[in-house]
Structure formats: structure tokens, C-alpha cells
Structure 1
């Protein structure tokens, strides 16, 4: 079986919050006994290595980047300081030893160290108060080249913040960019048949410029597709001002963030293969806005540990499309299918959990429901029901939930869907009936999303242990749940881009003093706005399937 490797890259603090949950989901889902069916080809995202002592390792094929002071309990070596395949490759003179105070570990990390991973993965934790950074709940150990720190800026430094798109590019042109590019090259050279790259980055601060500079160089160096998720955090501390002075500061920071988003979106429209903005807030552009609502889920949008878990769940399920063992669909296929007419931007959606009753059949659920079965997780976006192409992934719905046996079918037999033989056929029929002039590609995974610790406890007590709705309060803690996700592309994205263009146009260049100090000129700012408007024209109503 071809490995079809993918290199994952994460830029930014909130993206690393998402990444911690994402890699936890992967590793806590591994079956070391061989007793369960494995649908996912883990070699796509993971690499096998060996320590200097001959011990075999299996680590994410990952590069991540954050600011100095953000790692806390995670060593820069990623937790596997001895894993070097070729000890001769290390230039010991280049290693700088920096002694820093040891950060205290929470209960989850202490249990990993003392009781072992199996105990930590099965025990229930309340980490809301003890998570201060994404390393506080990171389960897997990482390859030594994975962690990359921007040393010129410190995490949480309000006096010299890494908050501008144009601060990222000089970092990339420094020794940091050379080392990062070298690490990309090393990963790529290890691969047998690399599919491409998936890049998640914070698009509201300096990591946006750093990520775009990296992407531009990758386009020059590699011919493989680059799937990008520009990410907007669920909340910012300045979003709840109490005084006029705080309101002024918040408005200025909002303006800076939306200009960073402008340069991110416009740059991705030129250099990425496909990009999908993500945010659990409804608006996303100037402020994240009200949190997106998911039935039977209660989460705190101010808590990154909560909101990032939702986006990680979406990314895990969305990526099943090109990681599934039985699916020959590749990252290249997905990018080609989703980007006709120069429409490189798509939207994403998620239904978590897929809200079927535990005593209900899928055919009855789809027949009775009148509301959307998924929620947008792309900012300022309402997903249309016609004239679009979409990739849908459904997981965790057993075939026994499909329809009643013939002898008990009763009214079900009068429905066309009763002729469907499996979940995929029934979902395809549902979208065919509900989406006019649209094309839908459906992937079905048997395994649900597993919700092992340290995944936050954000689900209703009305869900049973398998994530289906009960008629009362479940006596069992939820252990997994069915999920539906989608990538969607169509005319409806015109409105989303129009809102972004309108919001940024209200920001006067004369007020962007910090951008001007970093070399941004008024003409470049206007040209970027104009190119965004031109990109929006690709989504005008000329869609054909």
C-alpha cells in the first residue's frame, strides 16, 4: 500500500491549540492490539524513525511554529531528544543550551509521566482551569525537528507584539526561514510518494505573514498541492472592553487583525492550491462574533481549549477523505475538484454530534429533519443549498441504523430512500434531493470520532456513550460520537468576500501607523484590496457543473 505521505505545518498559538487536539485524536485512536478495524492509513501523517539506541519511534510528520515562551512544559526537542536517525548529522557546536524555570505540570501531564499513557487516556479530567497553553494537554511526543520557535518575539509580550502580517516576512528571511525550509526538505526527502502539504495558520497576527512567505517558497520548490486553513481564534481578550480607552484599543486591534486577514486571503488566492478559512465565531472578520451553535454541545468560546477541540474534530474528519485506506482519493484530487473557475477558497461545515436519536433509523431522521444537518465553521458564511460542489464526510453511523428490516419497515417502504443499500447511498440521495444544481461526493467512515481524555467534556448528558440522543439523561459518559463535515464551494461565497472587502475598506490607511512603519505603502494596500475584489468576481453567478 502506498503511503501517500502528507507534511503538516502549523503556524501560530491558536493553530497549535487545534493541533494538540488533532494529534491527540490521532494517537489516542491507535489500536496497538490489532483487534479493531483500522480505516485510516496512519502512515500518511506519521513517520517511522529510530532513536540512537535503536528504539523505534512513530511521530507526526509535522512542523510547528510558535513564539518564545509558549512551550512551557514541552522541551524544544519535542520530547524525544534522542531520536536522531544519523547522529553524524548533528553539529553539536550549533546547539545552544538555555536554562529556563521548569513549568509546573497539570494532573494530565503528571499522569502521563507517572502512570503511563494508557491511564491518562482513560481517566476523566477537568482541565479548563489548568490549561494555559497548548502544550498543557499535548499527548504525543514529537520529532526533534518538529518544534520551531521564533526567538525574536515573546508570547504575551504587549510591548513588542508579533501582531502584523509584515512582521512575519522578515522572520522568514532570517536564519529561522532557512532552518525551517531545510526541515521541510528533510521531511520531503524521507517520503516515498508525498501527496502534498496541509498548512494551518493564525491569519490575524504576524504568523500570517510568516506562513505566506513559507507558502510562496514552497510553491517555487515543490509541485505538490498545498491545502491551507487560515484560522481565526474564537475570542480575543480585548473583545470585552469596559472603558472608552479599552474600546479604542480594541477597535485598533480589530483593524490590525482584519488587515492581516486581507493580506492572508489575497496571498492564498494566488499561492495556495485550496484554502478554507475556519472560525467558531459567526462573524470572524472584525471580531469573532457570537459562537456557532452545535446541538447538545456547550462550550466556552473564551476558552481556547474548548473551541480548538471543535475545529480539530472537524479537521480530523475532513481529512479522512484523503487518509482513508479504502479511498484512492488524494489531496490533489480534492484540490482539483474544489477549485474550478479560479475559486480557490471554499467553506467548511460540521455537525457534531450528528443528532440522531438512539432508537431512530437514518432514513427516518433524514426524512423528518427540516433544519440543516451541519453548521458553517467558516466566518461570515451561510452555506447555500444550490449551485455548489461539496465533499461530505460522515462517520460513526452503523449500518444497523440505516433502515428497518423489511418485516418492520411499514411506512419506510414508501420512501425512495428505502432502496438504498448503505449509508453512503442514502446520504447521496439526501443531498441530491436537497441541493439544486449541485454535485456531492460522499465518504463514509464506520468509526466515530473518539472522545478520549484530554478532549474537553462539552457534550450534553442527553447523549449516550456512542453520541446518540437519548430520551432522558444518559448514565454513561460519552466515549465517541457520529460526525458530519463538509467542504463547500459555490456562488454563496461572493457574499462572504464582499463582507470582508467592505469591512477592510472602512479601515483608513492613515490610521495604520504600525503597518507603515514596517514598509507598507498606501498604493500596495489599495492594490491588495483591488485584487481581493477581482478574486471575488470568480464567485459571481456563472456557475456550471
Structure 2
């Protein structure tokens, strides 16, 4: 069977925070003993290579972009030692960008010294130590992975990379040409590539850069493009104390809002499917109140925290087409979710899936009055009726399904007692709770593993496996059951309507920088009109 490879692209600082957690989750789940049965086909996201000295490497099939000064201790060569860097074609001899020397935190020093046993047992102070996404990055990358934008300095207020037009211009420069060459090289290495994962910050210049790339991929390759436009959980200008700061924050909010609206409109033209993500309830103007997850305590102002939640969702959602026992492809998922031109879907996450350690799944589903998941799509309340959804559940053992026959008692009166596995029971649950809806459920045996450096954001009320404890004895949470879903239906029209309404209130005359960088008023208005037209795809098609 072919590998059905995926190439992952990451654009932007917060998206790289999410990506660092995502690749940590992958790499820390590898089994080098050969004794653990793997559920995922890691070759879908990883590629095998060889160094100039003949050493075999296994690195993410990944290209990422970030600004100068954002890498801290990670060299632009990807982090492998110079003697280990893979040999490549001549295009790899482009100018090297040397990052200023930075001191490594204790976690990175232990990785560097290959003290893997220490990492498992040690307590690190990453909440204070993490200043950028490379400060908790476990894997090392291929030499072509890291792409530094040297025209802009990370954290520079005077020359900030805030406008989608800036990103568009950058894509049309040598940077875009070099980046597309690297894409071509990765694709040529694949036996049967199934498509592209694209995570990008949709509120700043990285939106334009990513959209330029997506348009290129659409023209050049006939493969699926699954995009996650991501909104950060917090912005530095959210905390205002003076009138001047308030005015600056309002202007930046407007810029972010325009970038996001332009992103959604262009994705509706070029992506196969796209799913906006944010741990804030609102997502624009201000990210808003943090989404609430039972038994998780996280700080939205710490990207290290909030990005781990989104990474966990992406990892869980992608299990459907990375699972060894599943024959679905990314193309199948996109086709299932995007009927009637509804290319934008919502995502949800229930982490942990909060079942009591002494409770059976049948009783939990029968008695719970809370939703099983929380929306992680901004300004989006997921409907319960007239929807199509792909649900992935992981980490609930079959032993938790129902009581044995001799102990079943009242359980035997429930229709769900006839279910013989976790998949059937969830299918019955959604069939009973979602009117005029279609649900496809994927079940993975293994839970989400929460190994260091995953942040310690879980409640003391959980046991080491992420189930709610019956005894008050402190335990470190090592893994947890998770439920996540893609959802689509006419309810998505509300989000588009809110976005269109809010961005339409901004007068183009106030968008000086957009105009200076090439955005014409006629083109801007046309984009807003297309956004309104895209909403029409979500009109109710059901007849009762």
C-alpha cells in the first residue's frame, strides 16, 4: 500500500507554537523498542533521509516560515549538528542566516546532552523559560525546513509584518521562489502525495504569504489543501491602560479583522477545506474569553499553553487519515465535509473526555447533560441539528464500555447496551442527539500522550490516564482520552455574517497601509462581496 504522504506548511509565529507542540506529540510517541503496536503511519508526515556521513535521519516533511529573531537557539539549518546535515541539491546552498547566539534553557540542554531519562522524570520551569516556540521544541528538522523572513524583525514595532499585502509581496519575491522550489523537492520525493496541511496566522502578514502559497499549490498541484487559519489566544495590545494605547489597539484590531476577512474569502476560492481555529470565544476585535475545558486550567496570554490545546485538536482530527487501519484519505475527509460549496467547517475539542475512572461509558453518555466537546472555531456555536460531522474519539478502553452481563442491572434496559464496541456506542449517541444529521465516528485505542514538554495545565482531579479520580491522591497526568470533531451545516452562516458585518464597518479610507501596499478599494469591496456570497452556500437546504 502506498504511503499517501502529506506535506505540512506552517506560516507565522503562533502557528509555529502550535506546530512545535504538534511535532512534539508525534516524536514523543515514537517507539524505538519495537514492542508497542503503532496505530499511526508516521511515514505520512515524516520522511527518511541520509546525512553526508551515511547516518539515517527521520524528520518531519515540513516547511515553516517565521521572522528574523524568532528562532532563539534553533539554527536556520534545522537543528541537526553540522556533520549530520543532509546532503541536498545545489539550491540548498542559498544564503545562510545566522541567528544571534542565545542561551538554552534546561530542557533544551538535556535534549542536547541526550538525557532522555531525565526529561521524563525532571520538573522543568517552562512556563517561565519559554520565550518563543523553539524553547520547547523536541525534534530537529531537515535542513530545508526552516525559512527565515529576513526583511522583518520579530517584535519590531516600527517595521511590523502586520498586513496581508506585505505577505503577498513577499511571496512574489525571491522568498516565494525559493519556498516553492523546496515544495517541489519534497513532492518529488513522495510516492503518492495526498495533499497539503497548511497552518497559518490569519491576522497578520503571514496570511498574505500563506494565501500566495495556497494559490500557487492550487495552480501547480491537483492535490487536497486542508488549511487551518489560526487566531492567537491573546495579543500584546489587548491590555490597554491609556487612551493612546486604546486607539492603537483599535487600529490593530481593525487590521487583524481585515486580514482575517480577506483570508476567509480567498480560502473559499482556493482551499479544498479550511477550518478556522482559536481558543478565544470571539476570535476577532479581541480573542475574547478563553474557551472553557473541564479539568484544564490554561492561561491564554501564554502561547505555550493555548497552542498545546490547538495542537492536540489537530493531532486528534488527523487520526482519521493517518491511522494504519483506516483507508480514508485527506481528500475523502475534505469531500465528505464540503458539500454544497461549504468549504469552511468548524472544529471542536473535548479534552480530556471527562469520564470518571469508575464509570462506564454507557452510563456517562446516558446521564451527561453537558456537550461532549467545545467549539474551537472563533465566533461559532456548533449546532446540534441538521449537521454533518466527523468525530474522532481516542483513549477510551473497551473495558470502559459497559458492565458485564451479570452486573449490568439497569444498563440492560438501555438500547446502548446492545453496542459491542466504543464506535457503535458513540454512533448511537449522536444518532439520538443530533436531529437530521450524519455522523461518522473514528475510534483510536491510544490516548493523547502528554509527555514533557507538554504544559502542566490539567486539574489535580484527574488520574494519570486523564480520567476523573474517585480518590484525592495527587497523580501526574501522563495521557488523556480526547474527542474532537469537524462540523458543517447552515450554522456556519452566522460566523460569516458576523465577520462580514464587522469588517464592513471599517472605512477603506482608514486602511492607509493596505492601500500603500497595493490593495485597491475596488478589489477590497469585491472581496467583501465575495465573502457575502460565500455565506449563501450555508443557506438551509433541508426540507422537513
Are 2:519 and 1:497 equivalent residues in the alignment? no
Describe the SS at the equivalent of 2:369. Answer: coil
* Whole-angstrom distance in 2 between the partners of 1:275 and 1:115: 38
Aligned to 2:66: 66
Gaps of 5+ in 2: none
Q: Secondary structure at the match of 2:48?
A: strand
TM normalised by structure 2 equals: 0.98
CA distance in 2, matches of 1:305, 1:105: 17
Superposed counterparts of 1:444-459, under 5 Å: 444-459=443-458
Check whether the contact 2:358–2:470 (CA below 8 A) recurs between aligned residues. no
Equivalence map 1:124-135=2 (5 Å): 124-135=123-134
CA distance in 2, matches of 1:84, 1:104: 22
Matched residue of 2:428: which SS?
helix
The aligned residue for residue 141 of structure 1 is: 140
Once the 2 structures are TM-superposed, how far is the Cα of residue 510 of structure 1 from its aligned partner? 1.1
How does 1:471-510 map onto structure 2 within 5 Å? 471-510=470-509
8 Å contact kept, 1:490–1:543: no
Residue 541, structure 1, aligned to residue 540, structure 2? yes
Within a 5 Å distance, the mapping from 1:305-320 to structure 2 comes to 305-320=304-319
Distance (Å, rounded) in 1 between the aligned partners of 2:22 and 2:265:
27
Contact 1:285 1:503 in 2 (8 A): no
What is the CA-CA distance between 1:85 and the residue it aligns to?
Answer: 5.3
Structure 1 position 322, deviation (Å): 0.5
Superposition pairs of residues 491-530 of structure 1, within 5 angstroms: 491-530=490-529
Aligned to 2:282: 283
TM-score (norm 1): 0.98
Within 5 Å, give how 1:212-231 maps onto structure 2.
212-231=211-230
* Cα distance between partner residues in 2 of 1:99 and 1:181: 22
Contact in 2 for aligned 1:122/1:452 (Cα 8 Å): no
SS of residue paired to 2:129: coil
Change (3 A) 1:129 1:465: same
- Please say if 1:109 is aligned against 2:127: no
Structure 1 SS opposite 2:470: coil
Q: Find the counterpart in structure 1 of residue 13 from structure 2.
A: 13
Contact 1:13 1:66 in 2 (8 A): yes
- How far apart are 1:471 and its partner, in Å? 2.6
Shift of 1:543: 3.9
Counterpart for residue 270 of structure 1: 269
Contact 2:7-2:197 at 8 Å conserved across structures: yes
Asked whether the 8 Å contact 1:28–1:121 carries over to 2, the reply is no
Show CA shifts across 1:117-170 (max 9, x none). Answer: 343244332201110000000000100000001111110110010000100011
2:99 & 2:177 partners in 1: Cα distance? Answer: 26
Structure 1 residue 183 displacement after superposition: 0.5
User: Counterparts in 2 of 1:190-209, with a 5 A limit?
Assistant: 190-209=189-208
Moved more, 94-103 or 398-407: 94-103
Question: C-alpha deviations, 1:22-42, integer Å up to 9, x for none?
Answer: 000000000111111210000
Alpha carbons of 1:201 and 1:422: their partners in 2 closer, same or farther (altered >3 Å)? same
The separation in 1 between residues aligned to 2:315 and 2:203, in whole angstroms, is 23
Q: Secondary structure at the match of 1:213?
A: helix
CA distance in 2, matches of 1:393, 1:271: 26
Aligned length: 543
Q: 1:418 to 1:275 in 2, by over 3 A?
A: same
Alignment of 1:330-349 (within 5 A): 330-349=329-348
Q: Note the C-alpha offset of 1:525.
A: 1.3
The runs of 5 or more residues in structure 1 that have no matched partner are none
Matches within 5 A, 1:33-112: 33-80=33-80, 81-83=82-84, 86=87, 89-90=89-90, 94-96=93-95, 100-112=99-111
Give the equivalent residue in structure 1 for 2:239.
240
- For residues 85 and 231 of structure 1, the distance between their equivalents in structure 2, rounded to whole angstroms, comes to 32
Answer yes or no: is the 8 Å Cα contact 1:83–1:143 preserved in 2: no
Tell whether the 8 Å contact from 1:112 to 1:119 is kept in structure 2 after alignment. no
Moved more, 301-310 or 104-113: 104-113
Deviates more, 1:508-517 or 1:311-320: 508-517
Query: Separation in 1 of the partners of 2:509 and 2:94?
Result: 45
Farther off after superposition, 251-260 or 96-105: 96-105
The CA deviation string for residues 194-241 of structure 1, in whole angstroms up to 9 with x for no partner, is: 111010000000000000000001101100100000000000010111
**Deviations 1:326-364 (Å, cap 9, x if unpaired)?**
000000101110000000000000000000000000000
Provide the C-alpha distance between the structure 1 equivalents of 2:466 and 2:249, rounded to a whole number of angstroms. Answer: 39
2:401 paired residue number: 402
Secondary structure at the counterpart of residue 296 of structure 1: coil
Q: In the alignment, is the contact (CA less than 8 A) between 1:6 and 1:195 conserved in 2?
A: yes
Q: Secondary structure of the equivalent of 1:281? A: coil
CA distance in 2, matches of 1:245, 1:79: 42
- What is the CA–CA distance in structure 2 between the aligned matches of 1:91 and 1:385, rounded to whole Å? 51
Given that residues 76 and 99 in structure 2 are in contact (C-alpha distance below 8 angstroms), is that contact kept between their aligned partners in structure 1? no
- Do the aligned partners of residues 260 and 99 (structure 1) sit closer, same or farther apart at CA in structure 2, a change above 3 Å counting? closer
Deviation at 1:287, TM superposition (A): 1.1
Query: For the Cα contact (< 8 Å) 1:3–1:43, is it kept in 2?
Result: yes
Q: Do the aligned partners of residues 292 and 316 (structure 1) sit closer, same or farther apart at CA in structure 2, a change above 3 Å counting?
A: same
Cα distance in 1 for partners of 2:481, 2:219 equals: 40
| Secondary structure at 1:179 match in 2 | helix
Whole-angstrom distance in 1 between the partners of 2:44 and 2:469 = 37
Q: Which residue of 2 aligns with 1:391?
A: 390
Structure-2 change in CA distance of 1:214 and 1:82 (3 Å): farther
Is this contact kept in 1: 2:11–2:210, CA < 8 A?
yes
* Change beyond 3 A, Cα 1:429–1:493: same
1:121-200 → structure 2 map (5 Å cutoff):
121-200=120-199
Q: Which structure 2 residues correspond to residues 352-431 of structure 1 after superposition, within 5 A?
A: 352-431=351-430
